[in-house]
């Protein structure tokens, strides 16, 4: 098992290299010159060239990449062009906030999704099943930024129960586990949870429904197992696949919450990313994308290893 883990870990290295190259290239391909965003309109050609040299943008691309990666492994992700602050500082602050939001959404979404999916799969082709299916299709189909705005109108504007903006009182950037901060988390987390509820419910429904029709379920009943025992067997059989879907969902929650973070002014990576795009803040953009992509890679690694631990049919050697 341990050797399997290390083998998978080694396989991650080329993937991480590829990710870093793509991150670097994407930004080069994107149209627009970062300098035009920060230089005064009437800057002379000499002034532009000086600025270019200061940021190392005058060197050939492979050299730029080598410098970037060299700094990266030393923990230096460059300075934001827009704010002048270190990218690492900006990104990690934002990623922490996003991670908090994504984890909260996952904590809401996964148990509900699993429960609904199991219900629907167990009571297949009943009214309950159809209700769950309708619910999950709605959850997946409704644009979640729209849902976010609707929730804001209901709970913030009309009822005044929950705040609609930021991660803490008065636009506070630092998080604390008290009600004043948690209040701010509820609406965005619930909004973000809707899509994964639908996806997890549908996945688990299909898995449970399929496993329940397999012969071994009847064999379990035939040897005197109770309904609870049988459900435990079904859960273990479904776990590997369900886990991989949930791992991917967690990745999407982390990187794909740009719209939600914008709607709720949540100071997370998505928020940072959209700012970086509009300001053509290359180092910040690269750094944010890279960190998010590496999270995805790490998530996949964890899922793979967990799957192998659960399902003996997945080769561990």
- Provide the binding-site residues for other proteins, judged by CB under 8 A: 214-216, 218-226, 229, 233, 236-237, 240, 310-313
Residue with tokens 């609406």: 187
When the beta carbons of 130 and 236 are compared against other proteins, the nearer one is: 236
Least Å distance, CB 214 to other proteins, is 6
Decide whether 7 or 236 has the Cβ nearer to other proteins. Answer: 236
C-beta closer to other proteins: residue 17 or 221: 221
Q: How far is the CB of 224 from other proteins (least distance, A)?
A: 3
Scan for tokens 């080598």, then name that residue: 66
Q: What angle do CA 65, 70, 76 make, to 5 degrees?
A: 105
Of 84, 191, 82, the residue nearest 144 (C-alpha): 191
- Over the Cα atoms of the chain, what is R_g? 24
Task: Tell me whether residue 85 or residue 232 sits nearer to other proteins (CB atom).
Answer: 232
In terms of CB distance, is 89 or 218 closer to other proteins? 218
- Are the CB atoms for 181 and 172 separated by under 8 Å? yes
270: closest CA among 255, 290, 281, 252?
255
| Token pair listed for 213 | 């029709």
The nearest distance, CB 216 to other proteins, in angstroms, is: 5
CB of 200 to other proteins, least distance (A): 20
Q: Which is nearer to other proteins, 20 or 237 (CB)?
A: 237
Tokens standing for residue 121? 């799969």
User: Tokens 């009182």, residue?
Assistant: 169
CB of 9 to other proteins, least distance (A): 25
Distance CA 201, CA 135 (A): 9
Nearest approach, Cβ of residue 240 and other proteins (Å): 8
Structure tokens given for 28: 């080069």
| Structure tokens that stand for 36 in this block | 């035009």
């Amino acid at each position: 098992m341990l050797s399997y883990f290390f083998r998978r870990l080694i396989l991650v290295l080329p993937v991480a290299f590829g990710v870093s190259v793509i991150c670097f290239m994407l930004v080069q391909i994107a149209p627009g010159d970062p300098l035009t965003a920060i230089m005064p309109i009437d800057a002379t050609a000499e002034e532009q060239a000086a600025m270019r040299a200061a940021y190392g943008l005058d060197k050939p691309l492979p050299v730029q990449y080598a410098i970037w990666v060299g700094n990266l492994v030393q923990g230096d992700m460059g300075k934001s062009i827009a704010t002048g602050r270190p990218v690492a500082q900006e990104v990690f602050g934002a990623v922490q906030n996003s991670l908090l939001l994504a984890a909260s959404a996952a904590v809401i979404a996964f148990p509900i999704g699993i429960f609904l999916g199991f219900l629907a799969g167990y009571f297949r082709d009943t009214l309950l099943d159809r209700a769950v299916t309708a619910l999950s299709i709605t959850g997946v189909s409704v644009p979640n930024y729209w849902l976010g705005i609707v929730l804001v109108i209901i709970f913030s504007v009309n009822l005044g129960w929950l705040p609609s903006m930021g991660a803490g009182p008065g636009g506070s950037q630092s998080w604390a586990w008290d009600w004043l901060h948690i209040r701010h988390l509820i609406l965005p987390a619930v909004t973000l949870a809707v899509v994964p509820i639908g996806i997890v419910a549908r996945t688990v429904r299909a898995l449970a429904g399929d496993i329940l029709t397999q012969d071994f379920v009847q064999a379990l009943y035939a040897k005197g197992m109770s309904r609870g025992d049988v459900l435990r067997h079904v859960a273990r059989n479904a776990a590997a696949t369900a886990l991989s879907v949930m791992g991917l969902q967690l990745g999407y929650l982390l990187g794909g919450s740009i719209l939600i973070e914008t709607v709720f002014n949540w100071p997370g990576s998505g928020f940072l990313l959209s700012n970086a795009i509009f300001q053509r803040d290359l180092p910040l953009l690269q750094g944010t994308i890279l960190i998010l992509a590496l999270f995805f890679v790490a998530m996949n690694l964890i899922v793979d290893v967990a799957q192998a631990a659960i399902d003996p049919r997945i080769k561990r050697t």
